[in-house]
Amino acid sequence: MRKTVSRLSFVAAVVTMMTLVSCGSTGEIAYLSQSQRDVPVAITGEFSKGIQANDQLYIYVESRTPEATIRFNQETNKIAVDGGSVMNPGSNAVSGYLVSREGDIIFPVLGKIHVEGMTHTELAALLEQRLVSEGHILDAVVTVKLLNFKVSVLGEVVRPGMIQATGERLTIFEAISMVGDLTIYGQRTNVTVIREENGVRTIGELDLTSDDVFQSPYYYLHQNDVVYVEPNKKRKRSADRDPIYLTYISSGVSVVSLLISAYYYYLLSKRI
């Protein structure tokens, strides 16, 4: 009788182990599991390739003489009041400057300015230099920010979709956290990043288990990047099976384990 109980317990243990293993090992779902600890790793990627066509720019001009800046801020901070408009530096109703397909913006008074490829700091410096040198503002201070920095994250993540970040710096790990993390079925060693800049499309790969990710040009995501997390082999295999059938198997394993436990305690009680 003891042999029978032992055999049944062994079967239940094997079935339970198979069920647990099918969910994926810790090594498969852990980030940076292959990286060394307490070892400095240089980050070589650029978080921005400069201003691109279709970027929407926030440009705000400041001065010790606020009246002198009004005409230069009319496109950036403008809200409607009784059919007219007033300047409101703290307003969220910001239209900004849309960079044309040719890489230009039309800035008040200064006219058309080619901005494609420039960093935000370079554009701010250029505007400050022109405003001062052309006699418009003696002490101009210009702030330039990107308003429509968006990235799409698809595949095996908790909440796939488009995310919008403030500024122009966004890492792959920050983007993943914004969509609720990868699911346990997400392939962490082969995350695809699709990037299109200056009419050229490139496809890169990231291994989130290795510290090599910090040296990848795709560690910093760029405007309009698309991140795709591929399902792992277990997920692909389970996609070919009937979900209801798997539910029946799981329920059957639970029932068998319960019956074995009840039978064991029944024998134990009779022995006592």
- Report whether pLDDT(43) > 80: no
CATH class of 56-146: alpha beta
pLDDT score of 268: 67
Cα 126 to Cα 17, 62, 123, 145: the distances in Å are 65, 15, 5, 14
Residue extents of the structural domains in the chain? 2-25+241-271, 31-47+149-232, 56-146
What is the tens place of the pLDDT at every residue in 13-33?
A: 544 444 444 444 555 667 766
CA dist 77 and 128 (Å) reads 18
Q: Is the pLDDT of residue 199 over 70?
A: yes
Model confidence at 270: pLDDT above 60: yes
Residue type at 134 in one-letter notation: E
86/107 Cα distance (integer angstroms)? 18
**196 band by pLDDT with thresholds 50, 70 and 90:** confident
> What's the CATH architecture for 31-47+149-232?
Roll (3.10)
pLDDT at residue number 244: 60
Q: Is the dihedral of CA 153, 157, 163, 165 positive or negative?
A: negative
Residue-wise burial string across 85-102, b where 16 or more C-beta atoms lie within 10 A, e elsewhere: eeeeeeeeebebbebeee
pLDDT tens-digit map of 128-160: 999 999 999 999 999 999 888 999 999 999 999
Q: Which of 233, 179, 243, 230 is nearest to 24 (CA)?
A: 233
pTM: 0.62
